[in-house]
Amino acid sequence: MRRTKTQPHVTPIAQRCSPRTSNSPPPSAARTLMEPRRIGSTSYDLAFLIDILNEHDELYPKFIKIENVAEKLVSENRGFGSNIYSVRLTSGEGEEYSFVCKIPTVEYLNKYLHEANEESKKFSEKELEEQEEINLTQVRETHNREVDFYRFAKENIPKSVKIPRFIYGEYMTEENECIIIMEDLSDRAHKGPSKGLSKEEAFQMPVDSLIKCLKAFITLSAHDLLENEDYTWFTPELAEKTIALSEYDKLMKVMASRPELGMPPVICQGDLWPSNVLWEHKSDGMRHLLSIIDWQDCYIGSYANDLASLLAINMDAETRKSCEQDVLRYYVEKMNEYKKSFNLDIDLTYDKAWIAYKKAIQVAILITMTIVENPEDVVENGENMGRITKRLVHMLEDAEFE
């Protein structure tokens, strides 16, 4: 069905941080707190955000008086296109409420751009300005895509799906800063940097969520990897295949839906590497899936893309190979149950799912190529490659390149 895009809701900066006079009544009872306070280096005033919570979050406790505000930048050293703040409010009675603010920024992309140009001298000053504009456009588009996803999810996706609870979001325009407000999972989430999932954890991974959920950008640095003498495993033959994947037409074909393999297009998260899959330790001693975050790269594509990324990027190769067929059988079984219950227009068999999965390993390769030089890629004692790099090597061996 064709959607008509509505005019994005954007709050002018002056409204977000305008000072209040002593004669002005506070818009919410919680503003008896203190003088105006901004969140981090943003233009967002805490009192403005409390008004949003009062209006949009049914779980906000409507404090009569806030005694303390604790603010933390939870995206430190992980930032790419946004700053993420955890904000905890405490009332005079000791009651607590916390939320997360995700605010897009171009500072990290521009920082990396200028650092790289210091060495290469590739861009002139004018070209740097043009690249900065490209970075800004990229950040704007990805933020707005994430707002669209969360708005859609709030209305259409069951609450049992493991995604953060969305409270409020504004589009980013050329004139205005913007924000996403979500539930705060930072106290519960466990990110073991790249510890491989077990077979048991694979079965409580979000296969059901992918079933219910049903233009990403990926930067491929194959040339840099090939020139790095530490990556002796990355041969010219593999480089040729992966560089070919990065070409636009080839990339679109790899990521696209494949109706002939049993299912129509679905929503793909598009960036399922370890730090975007949050886990929670519980009393049984096991890690349990808490949430999948960072939906700014979501796109419409093949049903197997996210499944392949979940298994190939988040599991060590030996474990993945021991259970991937069982996971796929479970996936097909659940989808066919939904077909009966909800009259879904699918024709899914294990053989079709296996073909789609093997092709989708190429998508996992492209995502992994962007993180093999990332702190997530932990090198253990006596090893010459990080965990994620080893997973990438096995993906390159297993993928069916077209």
**Mean pLDDT score, 333-357:** 88
**Token output for 155:** 């209305």
The domain boundary residue, chosen from 172, 187, 202: 187
Distance of CA 216 to the CA centre of its chain: 11
- Contact in structure between 349 and 262 (CB atoms under 8 Å): yes
Q: What is the pLDDT of residue 3?
A: 30
Whole-angstrom Cα distance, residue 194 to residue 231?
19
Q: Which residue has the higher pLDDT, 101 or 17?
A: 101
Within-domain flag for 232:
yes
**Which residues, in sequence order, are CB contacts of 383 under 8 Å at separation 6+?**
390
Q: For tokens 């059988």, what's the residue?
A: 329
| Partner residues linked to 183 by β-bridges | 99
The pLDDT of residue 244 is 61
171 with 270, same domain: the answer is no
Return the residue matching tokens 């259970």.
323
pLDDT tens digits along 130-187: 989 988 988 998 899 899 989 988 887 777 778 899 999 999 988 887 999 999 998 8
Domain final position from 136, 153, 187: 187
Q: Are residues 210 and 249 in the same domain?
A: yes
Q: Give pLDDT tens digits for 350-381.
A: 999 999 999 899 888 887 876 545 556 667 76
Whether 296 shows a pLDDT value over 60: the answer reads yes
Which is more confident, 4 or 338? Answer: 338
Could you tell me if residue 2 is inside a domain?
no
196 and 171 assigned to the same domain: no
- Residues 33-61 have a mean pLDDT of 85
The reply to whether 330 and 379 lie within a common domain is: yes
Q: What is the mean pLDDT of residues 336-341?
A: 84
Same-domain pairing of 254 and 301: yes
154: left (phi over 0), alpha (psi -120 to 50) or beta: alpha
Whether pTM exceeds 0.75: no
Report the relative pairing of strands 166-169 and 96-104 from DSSP bridges: unpaired
Q: Which of 20-29, 146-155, 295-304, 309-318 has the lowest mean pLDDT?
A: 20-29
Average pLDDT, the chain: 76
Please determine, for residue 17, whether its predicted confidence score (pLDDT) is greater than 60: no
Domain range for 311 is: 190-398
Q: Are residues 164 and 198 in the same domain?
A: no
Per-residue pLDDT band at 63 (split at 50, 70, 90): confident
In the predicted model, is pLDDT for residue 22 greater than 60? no
Number of structural domains, the chain?
A: 2
**Residues 253-294 pLDDT 10s:** 767 778 898 888 888 888 888 888 888 888 887 778 888 899
Rounded Cα gap, residues 96 and 75, in angstroms: 22
> How high is the pLDDT of residue 290?
87
- Predicted confidence at residue 249, as pLDDT, reads 63
* Same-domain status, 71 and 153: yes
180 falls within a domain:
yes
CATH code of 280's domain: 3.90.1200
Report the distance separating Cα 376 and Cα 126, nearest Å: 35
pLDDT for 368 equals: 80
Which has the closest alpha carbon to 173: 8, 390, 380?
8
Domain boundary among 187, 210, 234: 187
Give residue-wise pLDDT tens across range 69-110.
999 998 876 667 899 999 999 988 889 999 999 999 998 888
Q: Which residue has the higher pLDDT, 287 or 52?
A: 52
pLDDT value of position 104? 93
At residue 27 the predicted structure's pLDDT band, cuts being 50, 70 and 90, is very low
